[in-house]
Structure 1
Amino acid sequence: MYLIAGLGNPGKEYEHTRHNVGFMVLDGLAHKLDVKINRIKFKGLLGEASFEGQKLLLLKPQTYMNLSGESVSDAINFYKIPLGNIIVIYDDMDLPVGRLRIRPEGSSGGHRGMDSIIYQLSSDKFSRIRVGIGRPEGEKDAAGHVLGSFYGEEITKIKAAMEAAAQAALLIISKGVDEAMNKFNAFEA
């Protein structure tokens, strides 16, 4: 069994913001697997799918970004999912729009949702797929940037990156994180 958690904030006002890229990737993955993420469980929205003989849990924490770890840890503890079978998908300002970076473990890089997950799990030994949302230009504040929408050519780039991130998650499950890193860490939309 695998848990794929996409990070974001609940509510219509956040639906298409940069910070909700994790939710959007999960929506694409659910569409690809022909499932719905609509069961309320573990302080989140949950969908169940099957892929190559593996049961997949698709989780969108509804705790707001900074408390994502509560939802993720509840699901992991309930199903006794090993850390090696966890994939977290989230936005990263340190990557240009459309870039992906996959890692088998590591720090949060200052991402509050990841801080929460690492704290709740007392470990950073789980796979993650970071989707680039770019840095704000000039003196624009980071909060306004991550809670803003994509525009212009960014829309095409982020759509391609989200599709690639969904493919990368499935590749991690079927062939392992190293294979996914080799294929997608050079990806740039």
Structure 2
Amino acid sequence: MLINRFLRRGFCTAVARPWLFVGLGNPGDKYKGTRHNVGFEMIDAFAESQGISMNTVHCKATFGQGFVGDAPVLLAKPQTYMNLSGESTGPLAAYYKLPLNRVLVFHDDMGLPCGVLRLRHNGGHGGHNGLKSVMNNFRGNREFARLRIGIGRPPGQMDPKAFLLQKFNAIARERIDTALQEGVEVLKLLLSKGLTESARHFNTIQKYKHIRLQNMPA
């Protein structure tokens, strides 16, 4: 199994420790394509681009593993439902003996315009229940990276919970599809250049995208 290959080839050492990429979302066809599930979509887009099969269940997550060049990567979509995401993420990190600076969580973010991404070293949960659960299972430690995926804000007086569980309209869907491809590219850059350099480069580009899209409805 590839898990054993990580160990045989020495990839669980401090020199070449794998990254754990975790996409947050809700399992089941009912939630497929909704705003709250863009973390799942980012995992799927990256897995497909790298030919990594997500055909295993491990630590309550749909799971895949592979290499991008010589860099080992673990991919997970917790099947616990969003509010219990940490019950999968925490055990996965523990199983592979990963420090939190090798964990990257993908999640939806209403604080960013639809289709805008941000790569961060750490941060709070900002009211996001999936992130809150992950932090709780890391004993309050927030020193894990995040890829924030902008979904925009609810229109008018719409209930945010209802907004999160809606599917994207055509304009928003096009922006998200573009963002997913941008996300794939920055993840490949991260695996080759590291988090600091890739975040600096990527966030500068996304800053201008933010300015361009912030007043445009989606």
TM superposition shift of 1:41: 1.0
Distance 1:109 1:120 in 2: 16
Q: Give the aligned residue type for 2:71.
A: Q
Q: How does 1:1-189 map to 2 (within 5 A)?
A: 1-122=18-139, 123-185=141-203, 186-187=205-206, 188=209
The structure that has the greater radius of gyration is 2
Distance 1:169 1:5 in 2: 12
- How many residues were matched structurally? 189
Q: Give the aligned residue type for 1:107.
A: G
Q: Give the aligned residue type for 1:129.
A: L
Distance 2:98 2:179 in 1: 27
Q: Secondary structure of 1:124's match?
A: coil
Q: Give the aligned residue type for 1:116.
A: S
Distance 1:140 1:10 in 2: 24
Distance 2:118 2:172 in 1: 18
163-172 vs 53-62, greater mean Cα deviation: 163-172
Q: Does the aligned pair in 1 maintain the 2:71–2:192 contact within 8 Å?
A: no
Distance 1:171 1:70 in 2: 29
Distance 1:7 1:37 in 2: 15
Partner of 2:3: none
Unaligned runs of at least 5 residues, structure 1: none
Q: Give the aligned residue type for 1:33.
A: Q
Distance 2:190 2:114 in 1: 22
Unaligned runs of at least 5 residues, structure 2: 1-17, 214-218
Q: Does the aligned pair in 2 maintain the 1:98–1:161 contact within 8 Å?
A: yes
TM superposition shift of 1:152: 2.3
Q: Secondary structure of 1:91's match?
A: strand
Q: Secondary structure of 1:87's match?
A: strand
Q: Secondary structure of 1:170's match?
A: helix
Q: Secondary structure of 2:80's match?
A: coil
Percent sequence identity over aligned pairs: 40
RMSD: 1.2
